[in-house]
Amino acid sequence: MLFKFFKVADIYGEDLTFFRIEVQLTSIYGDSLSPLRFRFLFCTTSVNVEMASLAAPKAISPAIRFGRYAALLTGMLYGYTRLGSLTAKEKVIQEHENKIKAARAIQQAEDRARKTNVEMQSLAGEMGIKPAV
């Protein structure tokens, strides 16, 4: 990555600063692709700008301040109770899913054992060996 900064002094009565950024990316798939290049040119000026002066902020009413904190605390309390109810529901759902997963794992193990037994008996028949029952 290459960063170059150019400063051109006093063009049209302003100081202009140019930033040129070159980024070169090479391919990770091999040397057959040419590297990618990106070039950006930015221009900034150093002009003094005066900010608008703002009036002093007004005092916030105690009723508005109380209302804000009351709403904040109410939201926090609601979130805490909602989290508790969703956690309880999720726990019941998770237990049910665990039972289903256990039953599915047992069924898959039985199917694998049955398929393996059938395959071994067919291989024994092909090899001329009397299969054991």
Assigned domain for 59 exists: no
Per the structure, how many domains does the chain have? 1
Assigned domain for 31 exists: yes
Domain extent at residue 6:
2-45
Average pLDDT of the segment spanning 74-82: 98
Assigned domain for 29 exists: yes
Assigned domain for 131 exists: no
Global pTM value: 0.44
Which residue has better confidence, 106 or 37?
106
Assigned domain for 27 exists: yes
Q: Give the chain's mean pLDDT.
A: 77
Assigned domain for 32 exists: yes
CA dihedral sign, ordered 10, 16, 19, 20: negative
Q: DSSP string covering 37-88, please?
A: EEEEEEEEE----PPPPPPPPPPPPHHHHHHHHHHHHHHHHHHHHHHHHHHH
pLDDT at residue 41 in the model: 52
Structure tokens at 68: 């804000």
Assigned domain for 20 exists: yes
Assigned domain for 109 exists: no
